[in-house]
Amino acid sequence: MSTASEQIILTTCPRDCYDACGMAVVLKDGVISSVRGDPEHPVSRGKLCKKCSIGYNGVWRDPEARLSNPLRRIGRKGKGEFEAISWDDAIQTIATHCQDIIQRHGAETIINTHYTGTFAMIGFHFPMRFFNRLGATEVNPDSICNLAGHIALDYVYGTSLDGFDPRTAKDSRCIMVWGANPSACAPHIDQHWLQQASAKVIVVDPIRTQTAANADIHLQLFPGSDAALVFGLMHVLYRDGLMDEAFIESYTRGFDELLPSIKNATPAWCAEQTGVPASVIEEAASVYAQGPSLLWLGQGFQRQSRGGNAMRACSLLPAVTGNIGKAGAGFLYLNGLGNRHVDDAYLLGHHLAKQKPEAISHMDLVDCLGDSHKSQALFCWNINNAASNPDQARLKQALGREDLFTVVVDVFPTDTTDYADIVLPAASFLESNDLFASYFDHSLSAQVKVTEPMGDSLPNSEIFRKLAKAMNFTDPELYETDIEVIDHVLSHSGVGETFASLSTKGTVPFSSEPAIQFKALKFPTSDGLIHLASSKAEADGHTRIPEAYAEPKPAGKKLRLLSPASGWLLNDSFGNDAKIETQLGAANVVMHPLEAKTRGLSDRQTVVLSNDTGKLTLQLKLNADVPMGVALSHKGRWPKRQADHANVNILNPGVKSDMGDSTAVHSVEVEVSSAA
Ligand SMILES: Nc1nc2c(c(=O)[nH]1)N[C@H]1C(S)=C(S)[C@@H](COP(=O)(O)OP(=O)(O)OC[C@H]3O[C@@H](n4cnc5c(=O)[nH]c(N)nc54)[C@H](O)[C@@H]3O)O[C@H]1N2
Ligand SMILES: Nc1nc2c(c(=O)[nH]1)N[C@H]1C(S)=C(S)[C@@H](COP(=O)(O)OP(=O)(O)OC[C@H]3O[C@@H](n4cnc5c(=O)[nH]c(N)nc54)[C@H](O)[C@@H]3O)O[C@H]1N2
Ligand code: SF4
Ligand SMILES: [Mo]
């Protein structure tokens, strides 16, 4: 496989992506010549996705595009004007500010925002040991993404992190993909798993995505009407005797409470609520009921005002049809570390927190940063808030506060680093050892250091070890080395690999045979049953049972703005790669041709999207894959690379969903008009 001067190293893509691709990095004379897919890897099969094959051979390895030195601000906040400084100077400056703030205002005024810039185990978790010890206020990371869904599934099943093993699809007769778009978000799984499955595929999405177009049945519902659709499906299942009464009797609680709503949700009512024709509702119900059926619960549909209710409702389908605990059946939101026997409390160092201030939501970050009593310092790492958070204009204003001491750790000079007092350069995944646990497959992978960190950059873990030292913290957990953490995780996982052996394989399955989800039919709820009705939810102020709810349609000429993932970007990563930008073309909004016609708008013209929160200029594209009443504009553009210095989040007021104060970004409404 390798010649004398050529060497191939296997590693893993650590992006927040279902695929967790195995990669082969080709080194010539010790220097990276290309980053490709590992031909032996079951998911990537020799090819990276289009964004990574360009980006990992583009900006990620371009010294001009990367951050390579610690920086100190010399210009106004937001200008991105810095001077290079040494690590010692940067770390000491940060420690001095933190010590001073802790003494004068309390550690809780240090705000810690982070997410999945790298989702590798150490790069994602380890810095939290420092913040736990520090006593900083955490901005709940999942509140920008998927928290409502997690809470909802906890009510019903007692966990949201124990999903099906995709290998069990060989025994499935139906795969239902609900509010996920693998054609963009999981391109290899879409191509190699979903499209090759012998099962019938049902897709539930307001947009006719490529995944929906390839499916056997597409339920093209109006956004936010998922719970009503579920009750319509359950009506047909109940009416036609397709529910699994024995399963309901033995393993669930609260069915009687659901029954009146199920009886009311006739196909005609459901069609009216959701926009899905009654005949298609009937067909989908009978295909799903035949089973065994898998249900992929995406993250898209829970980013609605009542996304938690929608997730709770959807999760009833496997329970009422007995599609649990047997081969080819089950549901998946995300597979957590637990089913690889990895203890995230160990990785995060929860016990280091002497006092843990209550976390806040990303939806409340703007207000927190606008108030100097609540926020004296801000850390951003693994996250580009100025691109991905709501209320972008107000956020930038708050980030501009002179007295908010701001530290940003990133691989690239982003819109967020532009607001930093101190910028710390992070090494990329090619430059450090780590582990990765896919959130789709039941597998474990090695992230292998292929080359030295670029310039003076350092992996997240090393940066926070340095900070701990400068703060004079003595807890040994803060100084555990990467390889010690890796060895700890691998030895506890029982996977039978050392880092050296895993590195030669890249990825290993966690078990030789497909795992059966909830095989023992004991659920981690208070009584071991599935809670169709939940007193816990009720105690938290929600309804006891999920409601057959559909979001009202926007009034007047307003459209519902969906801003899901683009196949060319990974959140806001890759938005700074010029080749990818060329492929993407100008930032655009897609509308149904008839919606454009009623507004006198035409294809390719410049339009303005506006609402009470902001406005944004975009190019209009017409396409009937987007239903009436909806506008589609993908997330992830870098604001500073756009003419308006903004992206779609300038329009997002940061409305919260019904659970966990989590994002309802897909419930934004806008007007669209000609720019002229
Ligand atoms: N309008 C709209 N907005 C959205 C969404 C939407 O659907 N619509 N989706 C939301 C969702 S689901 C999410 S998850 C968020 C994601 O939003 P972000 O977390 O902001 O996005 P990412 O691109 O995943 O990563 C953030 C940063 O991490 C950096 N990074 C990469 N590797 C490393 C590393 O090793 N160390 C450090 N320190 N940094 C690194 C990247 O360069 C990048 O700048 O956006 C949310 N925003
Ligand atoms: N290429 C690429 N891959 C990614 C990402 C990326 O940005 N780019 N982001 C990563 C991250 S952080 C995440 S969280 C995942 C997200 O991956 P997904 O779970 O797929 O989430 P989204 O892309 O937000 O939305 C998926 C679909 O939900 C649909 N949707 C919106 N509203 C509704 C609704 O009310 N009901 C229903 N049924 N569907 C609705 C959208 O039309 C969209 O097609 O993907 C990850 N993978
Ligand atoms: S972003 Fe996803 S699809 Fe692309 S290479 Fe990484 S894991 Fe694979
Ligand atoms: Mo996400």
Ligand nearest to the CA of 568: 2
Distance 418 CA to ligand 4 centre (A): 23
Q: Quickly state the pLDDT bin for 5 (edges 50, 70, 90).
A: confident
3-state secondary structure 527-557: CCCEECCCHHHHHCCCCCCCCCCCCCCCCCC
Closest CA to 186 of 160, 216, 208, 166: 166
pLDDT digits (tens, 9 = 90+) for 588-608: 999 999 999 999 999 999 999
Ligand 3 pocket test, pick from 10, 11, 12, 13 with the greatest ligand atom count within 8 Å of Cβ, gives 13
Q: Which two tokens stand for residue 604?
A: 């390719």
- Is residue 665 in contact with ligand 1, taking CB distance under 6 Å? yes
Local structure of 276: helix, strand or coil? coil
Ligand nearest to the CA of 185: 2
Distance 378 CA to ligand 2 centre (A): 28
Q: How many residues does the chain have?
A: 676
Residue 325, Ramachandran bin (φ over 0: left; ψ between -120 and 50: alpha; else beta): left
Q: Quickly state the pLDDT bin for 4 (edges 50, 70, 90).
A: low
Closest CA to 676 of 614, 617, 610: 617
Distance 203 CA to ligand 3 centre (A): 22
Position in ligand 2 atom list of the atom nearest CA 567: 1
How does strand 330-332 pair with strand 82-84? Answer: unpaired
Q: Which two tokens stand for residue 377?
A: 């310092």
Position in ligand 2 atom list of the atom nearest CA 180: 20
Q: Residues 376, 380, 385, 388: what is their CA dihedral angle, to the nearest 10 degrees? A: -150
- Is residue 382 in contact with ligand 1, taking CB distance under 6 Å? yes
pLDDT digits (tens, 9 = 90+) for 90-124: 999 999 999 999 999 999 999 999 999 999 999 99
- Is residue 562 in contact with ligand 2, taking CB distance under 6 Å? yes
What are the respective helix, strand and coil percentages of the chain, to the nearest 5?
Answer: 35, 20, 45
Answer whether 246's CB lies under 8 Å from 332's CB: no
Q: Which two tokens stand for residue 448?
A: 């292998």
Number of Cβ atoms within 10 Å of the Cβ of 391: 21
At position 256, the amino acid (one-letter code) is D
Ligand nearest to the CA of 551: 2
- Is residue 144 in contact with ligand 1, taking CB distance under 6 Å? yes
Residues 6 or more apart in contact with residue 155 via CB below 8 angstroms? 312, 531, 534, 536, 537, 542
Closest CA to 664 of 306, 311, 288: 306
Position in ligand 1 atom list of the atom nearest CA 14: 32
Distance 313 CA to ligand 1 centre (A): 29
Q: Is pTM beyond 0.85 here?
A: yes
Longest pairwise C-alpha distance within the chain: 72
Distance 18 CA to ligand 1 centre (A): 15
pLDDT at residue 2 is higher than 70: no
Distance 388 CA to ligand 1 centre (A): 7
Q: Residue written as tokens 């004079």?
A: 472
Q: Which two tokens stand for residue 371?
A: 């108030």
Angstrom distances, CA of residue 187 to CA of 17, 22, 52, 190: 9, 14, 12, 5
Ligand nearest to the CA of 229: 2
Q: Which two tokens stand for residue 367?
A: 């207000």
Q: How high is the mean pLDDT of the chain? A: 97
Between vectors from CA 360 to CA 357 and to CA 364, what angle results, nearest 5°? 145
Position in ligand 1 atom list of the atom nearest CA 649: 1
pLDDT at residue 365 is higher than 60: yes
Helix axes 460-470, 87-105, angle to 10 degrees: 60
Distance 204 CA to ligand 2 centre (A): 12
- Which DSSP helix (H) or strand (E) runs through 405? strand 405-410
Ligand 1 pocket test, pick from 333, 384, 650 with the greatest ligand atom count within 8 Å of Cβ, gives 384
Q: Is the bond preceding 277 in cis, omega lying within 30 degrees of 0? A: no
- Is residue 570 in contact with ligand 2, taking CB distance under 6 Å? yes
pLDDT digits (tens, 9 = 90+) for 170-194: 999 999 999 999 999 999 999 999 9
Beta strands per DSSP E along 411-505? 422-425, 434-436, 443-447
- Is residue 59 in contact with ligand 1, taking CB distance under 6 Å? no
Distance 415 CA to ligand 1 centre (A): 12
- Is residue 187 in contact with ligand 2, taking CB distance under 6 Å? no
Ligand 3 pocket test, pick from 11, 47, 49 with the greatest ligand atom count within 8 Å of Cβ, gives 49
Ligand nearest to the CA of 127: 1
Alpha-carbon distance of 389 to 524, in angstroms, equals 33
Distance 292 CA to ligand 3 centre (A): 29
Q: Is the dihedral of CA 559, 565, 571, 574 positive or negative?
A: negative
In a 10 Å sphere around its CB, with 0-12 CB exposed, 13-18 middle and 19+ buried, how is residue 496 labelled?
exposed
Bridge partners of 11?
Answer: 23
* Backbone phi, psi, residue 311, to 5°: -65, -40
Q: Which two tokens stand for residue 528?
A: 């071991």
Closest CA to 428 of 57, 84, 46, 85: 57
- Closest protein CA for atom 5 of ligand 3: 48
Ligand 1 pocket test, pick from 366, 428, 573, 589 with the greatest ligand atom count within 8 Å of Cβ, gives 573
pLDDT at residue 522 is higher than 70: yes
DSSP state of 299: S
pLDDT digits (tens, 9 = 90+) for 299-317: 999 999 999 999 999 999 9
- Which DSSP helix (H) or strand (E) runs through 249? helix 245-251
b/e 241-263 (16+ beta carbons within 10 angstroms → b): ebbbeebbeebbbbbeebeebbe
- Closest protein CA for atom 7 of ligand 1: 564
Q: Quickly state the pLDDT bin for 396 (edges 50, 70, 90).
A: very high
Ligand 3 pocket test, pick from 18, 21, 580 with the greatest ligand atom count within 8 Å of Cβ, gives 21
Q: Which residues line ligand 3 (CB under 6 A)?
A: 13, 15, 17, 19-21, 44, 48-49, 52, 187-188, 570
Answer whether 374's CB lies under 8 Å from 106's CB: no
- Is residue 116 in contact with ligand 1, taking CB distance under 6 Å? yes
Position in ligand 2 atom list of the atom nearest CA 187: 1
Ligand 3 pocket test, pick from 11, 17, 41 with the greatest ligand atom count within 8 Å of Cβ, gives 17
Number of Cβ atoms within 10 Å of the Cβ of 437: 24
Q: Quickly state the pLDDT bin for 676 (edges 50, 70, 90).
A: confident
Bridge partners of 378?
Answer: 111, 406
Ligand 1 pocket test, pick from 113, 362, 411, 651 with the greatest ligand atom count within 8 Å of Cβ, gives 411
pLDDT digits (tens, 9 = 90+) for 436-477: 999 999 999 999 999 999 999 999 999 999 999 999 999 999
Angstrom distances, CA of residue 145 to CA of 505, 545, 571: 32, 24, 11
- Is residue 275 in contact with ligand 2, taking CB distance under 6 Å? no
Q: Which two tokens stand for residue 180?
A: 């996920």
Q: Which two tokens stand for residue 324?
A: 């649990």
Q: Which two tokens stand for residue 433?
A: 């050892």
- Closest protein CA for atom 18 of ligand 2: 180
Ligand nearest to the CA of 565: 2
- Closest protein CA for atom 3 of ligand 3: 49
What integer is the mean pLDDT of 216-232? 98
Answer whether 415's CB lies under 8 Å from 638's CB: yes
Position in ligand 2 atom list of the atom nearest CA 224: 35
Q: Whole-angstrom distance between the N-terminal and C-terminal Cα of the chain?
A: 59
Alpha-carbon distance of 188 to 90, in angstroms, equals 41
Answer whether 529's CB lies under 8 Å from 250's CB: no
pLDDT at residue 323 is higher than 70: yes
